[in-house]
Structure formats: C-alpha cells, structure tokens
Amino acid sequence: MAAVTPESSAHYRFPPAAAYRLNRCLFALKSDDAFRARYVADPEGAMRALGLDEADQAALRGGDRDDLVARGAHPYLVFMADLRLRMDRGTTTFEYF
C-alpha cells in the first residue's frame, strides 16, 4: 500500500498555514452566532477584524467554493459556513424527517 502524502491525499489537501485566517473566519461563520450576525451586517468589517487579506476577502465575498478551496480553505468549512449564512438569511429550505 502506498503512503499517503499531502500531495496524494485521497480526499483533500491539508489546509496550509497561510490559510489559517481564512479557515478561522469560515469556522466562525459556521459556529459563532454573534460573529455571523456581524458578518451579515458588515462583511468587510468582520473580515478585516480577523485579518483577512484582500484576496481572501474577495474570494469569501464571491462565495466560489472552488476558489476558496484553492486558497486553502477546508471544504467542510466552506460548505458549513455557506449553509449557516443561507439559513440566517432565510434563503434555503430544509426537509425534516
């Protein structure tokens, strides 16, 4: 069996250290109701407060999953942050079983 390396990971690349602030922001959007409310009210201010650079801010504003993942965002955090934002904005529907 071949060794799994960061370059050959079966599921996704391990997020690089350079993407820490981006992933921290995505985690806060997913998990922190107060931060998410600040982000909805003032996205630029919320992103600046976490130290995101202009390119990360643009990627997050654009909401393009592939662009965010290419910048080092963890795919799960991208999905969950987007889902929580859509839930808060009332732009999604769910089925409950």
Inside any domain, residue 6 = no
Q: Is residue 94 part of a domain?
A: no
- Is pLDDT above 80 for 8? no
Residue 8 lies in a domain: no
Which position has the token pair 């089925």? 95
Residue linked to tokens 């795919």: 75
What count of Cα atoms within 13 Å lies in the side-chain half-sphere of residue 83?
Answer: 10
Domain that holds residue 83: 16-89
Average pLDDT in the chain:
87
Question: How many domains does one find in the chain?
Answer: 1
Q: Tens digit of pLDDT for each residue in 81-92?
A: 999 999 888 866
pTM of this structure: 0.81
Segment 42-80, tens digit of pLDDT: 999 999 999 999 999 999 999 999 999 999 999 999 999
Residue 80 lies in a domain: yes
Whether residue 70 lies inside any domain: the answer is yes
Q: Is residue 20 part of a domain?
A: yes
